[in-house]
Amino acid sequence: MASTIPDREASLERQLKGYRLATAEITYRLPDHPSLLQTFVWQHDDLAPGYPERRRFLAFWAAKIEGRLFSVRVGRTELLTPSRYAHAAGVWQLH
């Protein structure tokens, strides 16, 4: 069984080099029904501030995928953020 510690170190090294988790919410028109919109979420580690992976993906989309882009919303994580914790007040099950 492989340890995950080297993965964490590699992730830390990438973050120190400027890589961050970039997210793009892509809204596009369906090729057969252009009046309908569909959403696709893309996430990838990308190099800030130019984000070449995101630019490459959107260029690929525009050139090769039939769904015409309508809008792209972009978000990213900050460098070296602490883990987030939220306490759940309870657990409910619906049968």
| Residue 42 pLDDT greater than 80, yes or no | yes
Please state whether the predicted TM-score (pTM) of the whole model is above 0.85.
Answer: no
Tokens read off for 84: 């987030």
Kindly report the CA angle at 52 between 81 and 37, in degrees rounded to 5?
90
Q: What is the pLDDT of residue 52?
A: 92
Would you list the domain boundaries of the chain? 18-76
Checking 42-47 for CB contacts under 8 A at 24+ apart, the result is 45/14, 45/19, 45/20, 45/21, 46/19, 46/20, 46/21, 46/22, 46/76, 47/17, 47/18, 47/19
CA neighbor of 42 nearest in space, from 28, 27, 56, 25: 25
For residue range 20-41, list pLDDT tens digits in order.
Answer: 888 899 999 999 999 999 999 9
For residue range 8-23, list pLDDT tens digits in order.
Answer: 667 778 878 888 888 8
| Residue 90 pLDDT greater than 70, yes or no | yes
